[in-house]
Amino acid sequence: MNVNWKEIRSKEFPALDKGDMVFLDAACVSLAPMRSIKAVKDFADYTGKNDEVNASAHHVEMDNKRNIAYQEAAKLLNADIEEIAIVESTSHGLNIAATSLELNDGDNILTTNLEFIQVALPWCAMKKTKDIEIRVVKTEDNRFTVEDFKKHMDKRTKILVISSVEWCNGWKMNLKEIGTFCKENGIYLVVDAVQELGVMNIDTKKIHVDMLTAGGHKWLNSPYGAGILYINKDLLPKIDPVYWGYLNTETPEGGWAAYWENPAAPAVNDWTFLPTARRFEIGGTSNYVGAITLGESLGLVNEIGINNIQNRVLELSDYCISKIKDVGGTLITHDEEENKAGIVIFRLYGDLEKDREVLRKLHEKRIFIAQRFTDYVGGFRVSCQYFNNENDFDKLFEEIKNIINILGKPDYK
């Protein structure tokens, strides 16, 4: 498919062409496409009136408007629709994993030293009430392979929880190899995919993962408080949520409107819950705006095609890396093709305050990148999203050259 990236940018992300900013920070919080913004406005109009036969039907229709998000998420992940739930955020999804996957005293989980704090946080909290161990995998070169995880596992290892792309150095995990290892050893694989989903192809039919979650506000371009939780259908019958909602039960005969009008309707009942990932949602009145606009943003990704997006993002990442080398920067992101995604990290100066001064000067010019670290690994973080173009990077590095003329030659080692 020959994609017209210029047309997509001008049609869906027109703010990028106004000339008053360079936006290269989708890994923090991205820009919404115009179709998602329109969906917000349309839903706001819908809530200000009642086009249905009564208020109950209005409520039911608001629930129905969320359905496109499940369909588009399942398509993107090549998953079955019963494996998809809509959650508030990555944090929400990770908490569902932590509270539904059973751990006993003496068990341990594996993670890495470069994770965003939320990845291990629920299990850190669990340590206050349960005698579990969190084993932090650290490598000399900040690359992570299945062999690194093997070295730290034993018969009490129950969960491996990782980011599919590390937020502070851009390392992309080989989920196929890691998933196969986990499945063969009876270890649950929990994946934070928030720095990958929407720009890299994650095919759940080709890899094994037990639970995968990603908020919509980063690479999915849907900053409205909704994201995706994937739960492998083989795992679904083995786990239960810690909270229960009526909308996660089987719909009563005649629908909810008829149930609410039934004089004999019981509050205490032997409720039957859905055998799908949706039973892990709150199951009450939800973030309709978030789910509806997430569906629109997912729809745009599927319309363009995830493989087309992946190729474009990697192309822009390579262009960014070439520019870093041109100005004498030090690349923190590893340059192996199979382990790259949309995040590119680099440093300029050994004096961190000088790097911070660079960032301040860039932001003053409304050139938006970030600075991120974990365990002394990180630097300037540039997000190479499909709505960007080469001119964005030219402007970024032209300004960096101007700053280098003031602060001196880069000297980070």
**HEC letters along the chain:** CCCCHHHHHHHHCHHHHCCCCEECCCCCCCCCCHHHHHHHHHHHHHHCCCCCCCHHHHHHHHHHCCHHHHHHHHHHHCCCHHHEEEECCHHHHHHHHHHHCCCCCCCEEEEECCCCCCCCHHHHHHCCCCCCEEEEECCCCCCCCHHHHHCCCCCCEEEEEEECECCCCCCECCHHHHHHHHHHCCCEEEEECCCCECCECCCCCCCCCCEEEEECCCCCCCCCCCEEEEECCCCHHHCCCCCCCHHHECCCCCHHHHHHCCCCCCCCCCCCECCCHHHHCCCCCCCHHHHHHHHHHHHHHHHHCHHHHHHHHHHHHHHHHHHHHHCCCEECCCCCHHHCCCEEEEECCCCHHHHHHHHHHHHHCCEECEEEEECCEEEEEEECCCCCCHHHHHHHHHHHHHHHHHHCCCCCC
Are both 331 and 195 inside the same structural domain?
no
Sheet holding 343-347, edge to edge: 330-331, 343-347, 377-383, 370-374
Are both 24 and 50 inside the same structural domain?
no
Residue 258 CA to residue 88 CA, distance in Å, equals 29
- Give tens-digit pLDDT for 176-213: 999 999 999 999 999 999 999 999 999 999 999 999 99
In a domain, 244, yes or no: yes
Are both 264 and 206 inside the same structural domain?
yes
Are both 291 and 348 inside the same structural domain?
no
Are both 246 and 368 inside the same structural domain?
no
Domain end, chosen from 275, 301, 327, is at 301
In a domain, 175, yes or no: yes
Answer whether 0.75 is exceeded by the pTM: yes
- Give tens-digit pLDDT for 106-117: 999 999 999 999
CATH label of the domain that carries residue 204: 3.40.640.10
In a domain, 36, yes or no: no
Residue ranges making up the domain that contains 396? 5-31+305-407
Are both 163 and 286 inside the same structural domain?
yes
Domain end, chosen from 271, 301, 331, is at 301
How many domains would you assign to the chain? 2
In a domain, 196, yes or no: yes
Confidence of residue 56 (pLDDT cuts 50, 70, 90): confident
Handedness of CA 230, 169, 109, 283 (dihedral sign): negative
User: What are the two backbone dihedrals, phi and then psi, of residue 199, each rounded to the nearest 5 degrees?
Assistant: -130, -20
Are both 360 and 380 inside the same structural domain?
yes
In a domain, 413, yes or no: no
Are both 286 and 320 inside the same structural domain?
no
| pLDDT at res. 147 | 98
Are both 73 and 107 inside the same structural domain?
yes
| pLDDT at res. 105 | 97
Are both 120 and 92 inside the same structural domain?
yes
Residue 357 CA to residue 341 CA, distance in Å, equals 27
| pLDDT at res. 174 | 98
Are both 198 and 171 inside the same structural domain?
yes
Domain end, chosen from 280, 301, 322, is at 301
In a domain, 210, yes or no: yes
CATH label of the domain that carries residue 331: 3.90.1150.10
Are both 77 and 21 inside the same structural domain?
no
- Give tens-digit pLDDT for 216-229: 999 999 999 999 99
In a domain, 370, yes or no: yes
